[in-house]
Amino acid sequence: LVRRMREFGTTVFATMTKLAVETGSINLGQGFPDTDGPARMLERAVEAVRDGFNQYPPGPGVPELRRAVAEHREKWYGLAYDPDGEVLVTVGATEAIAAAVLALCEPGDEVIVFEPYYDSYAAAVALAGAVRRPVTLRVDAGRFTFDPAELAAAVGPRTRAVLVNSPHNPTGTVFNRQELEAIAEVCRERDLVAISDEVYEHLTFDGVEHVPLATLPGMRERTVMISSAGKSFSVTGWKTGWICAPAPLVAAVQAVKQFLTFTAAAPWQLAVAYGLREEMDWVNGLRADLQAKRDRLIAGLETAGFGVLRPAGTYFVQTDIRPLGFDDGLELARRLPELAGVVAIPTQAFYDNVSRGRHFLRFAFCKKDEVIAEAVTRLRHLS
């Protein structure tokens, strides 16, 4: 394995899911729902296969999906993107992120990431031979946020891009306008590209609104907006994502993407186009269900003795393990199957400054009510 990839090993998600399977534990680690997406959308995928959509689709993606993505952006956010040239379909958001970083960053360029960060960000930056500059999200008034001065100070002469993720995995923070404006200001002043991962765009709670970075003044022209069907429609295994950006940025990302995967699988694209057009009511229902699941898991974790940080979005809850008498989340995550028959994610896996994430554990609540109920019953044994 090349030197620049050696620090990464196996992803924490694969490791913890394997642990859950081996120990027969309830898996509240890796974030994937245990129920299916909208039935008619699933049926569309089957029909697409039956109807012969089984050969290479066009490189930028099936036109129906590119149009559906553009219509969705216009309808939800008032953002206009041309489906021919400003939308590119990718193999999940993961490919979109990697292709964007590879397309836009020269070796030695710096990329700002907010830590804790989604694990593929660091690997994508390393693959490009670029350097990550973490800005730490810290807990303030019960939510993770950043200090704008720290963000500004992280920008140097080699900074090329800021990787933004809101709603944010793994903290559940949804950046508000003020936070987004602080990011936008730095991007405009220092001429940076924003790579904006918005895969949880529809999973926000308590009436909190997701604001796409590209809607801020001067940002549409410098933002690569990324999303995916996995979270919105509970089809994480479909690996169908997309970017929206000005044509020159899309052309750059496509220049890389064509040699990573050339194109994304055809049948899912037709089904997701249908989902974006016809199943947004279902997505709103999912959002309401998830909010109730969040509240159920939070209540259970609090009863079990965890310190709980209430997320405004995503399907993850951060907990502080210190009230239970534990100190190291990595150690507790490894022992949790034996102590309680539950698997969670050690949040420190997402930090460069590991000590800052040491006492956090992440639990996923995108699970059936009875699974959440059983998990919290088991976790009561901890105290």
The residues that touch ligand PMP, with contacts defined as CB under 6 A, are 92-94, 118, 165, 169, 197, 199, 228, 230, 236, 239, 241
Question: Would you say 89 and 269 are in contact if contact means Cβ atoms under 8 Å apart?
Answer: yes
Four-CA torsion 246, 252, 254, 255, nearest 10 degrees = 160
- Which of 4, 11, 67, 85: binder of ligand GLN (CB under 6 A)? 11
Shortest distance in whole angstroms from residue 227 CB to ligand GLN: 13
Residue 352 is classified by DSSP as S
Nearer to ligand PMP, 192 or 199 (CB): 199
Shortest distance in whole angstroms from residue 124 CB to ligand PMP: 10
Nearer to ligand GLN, 127 or 251 (CB): 127
Q: Could you say which of ligand PMP, ligand GLN, none residue 77 binds, taking C-beta under 5 to 8 angstroms by partner kind?
A: none
- Cα Rg of the chain (Å, integer): 20
Shortest distance in whole angstroms from residue 355 CB to ligand GLN: 22
Main-chain phi, psi angles of 69, to 5 degrees: -65, -45
Q: Could you say which of ligand GLN, ligand PMP, none residue 30 binds, taking C-beta under 5 to 8 angstroms by partner kind?
A: ligand GLN
Q: Which two tokens stand for residue 42?
A: 């699933």
Q: Which amino acid is at 338?
A: E
- Which of 25, 31, 87, 276: binder of ligand GLN (CB under 6 A)? 31
- Which of 15, 25, 27, 30: binder of ligand GLN (CB under 6 A)? 30
Question: Using CB under 6 A as the criterion, what x/- string covers residues 85-124 for binding ligand GLN?
Answer: ----------------------------------------
Shortest distance in whole angstroms from residue 156 CB to ligand PMP: 25
Nearer to ligand GLN, 276 or 345 (CB): 345
Q: Could you say which of ligand GLN, ligand PMP, none residue 347 binds, taking C-beta under 5 to 8 angstroms by partner kind?
A: none
Q: Could you say which of ligand PMP, ligand GLN, none residue 92 binds, taking C-beta under 5 to 8 angstroms by partner kind?
A: ligand PMP
Which own/partner contact pairs does 280-286 have at CB distance under 8 Å and 24+ positions apart?
A: 282/37, 282/38, 282/41, 282/233, 283/202, 283/232, 283/233, 284/202, 286/202, 286/203, 286/232, 286/234
Q: Which of 217, 228, 215 is nearest to 69 (CA)?
A: 228
Q: Which of 219, 94, 242 is nearest to 162 (CA)?
A: 219
Nearer to ligand GLN, 70 or 349 (CB): 349
Q: What is the 3-state secondary structure (H, E, C) of 29-96?
A: CCCCCCCCCCHHHHHHHHHHHHCCCCCCCCCCCCHHHHHHHHHHHHHHHCCCCCCCCCEEEECHHHHH
Count of all residues that appear for the chain in the document:
383
Nearer to ligand GLN, 13 or 77 (CB): 13
Q: Which of residues 169-208 bind ligand GLN (CB under 6 A)?
A: 169
Main-chain phi, psi angles of 145, to 5 degrees: -150, 175
Q: Is the torsion defined by CA of 300, 303, 304, 306 positive or negative?
A: positive
Helix (H, G, I), strand (E, B) or coil at 145: strand
Which residues, 6 or more positions from 256, have their beta carbon under 8 angstroms from its beta carbon? Answer: 99, 102, 103
Nearer to ligand GLN, 186 or 317 (CB): 317
304 half-sphere exposure, CB direction, 13 A CA radius:
26
Q: Is 329 in the site for ligand GLN (CB under 6 A)?
A: no
Q: Could you say which of ligand PMP, ligand GLN, none residue 228 binds, taking C-beta under 5 to 8 angstroms by partner kind?
A: ligand PMP
Nearer to ligand GLN, 119 or 181 (CB): 119
Q: Is 263 in the site for ligand GLN (CB under 6 A)?
A: no
Nearer to ligand PMP, 239 or 378 (CB): 239
Shortest distance in whole angstroms from residue 236 CB to ligand PMP: 5
Q: Which of 244, 157, 178, 168 is nearest to 199 (CA)?
A: 168
Q: Could you say which of ligand GLN, ligand PMP, none residue 11 binds, taking C-beta under 5 to 8 angstroms by partner kind?
A: ligand GLN
Site of interaction with ligand GLN (CB under 6 A): 11, 13, 30-31, 169
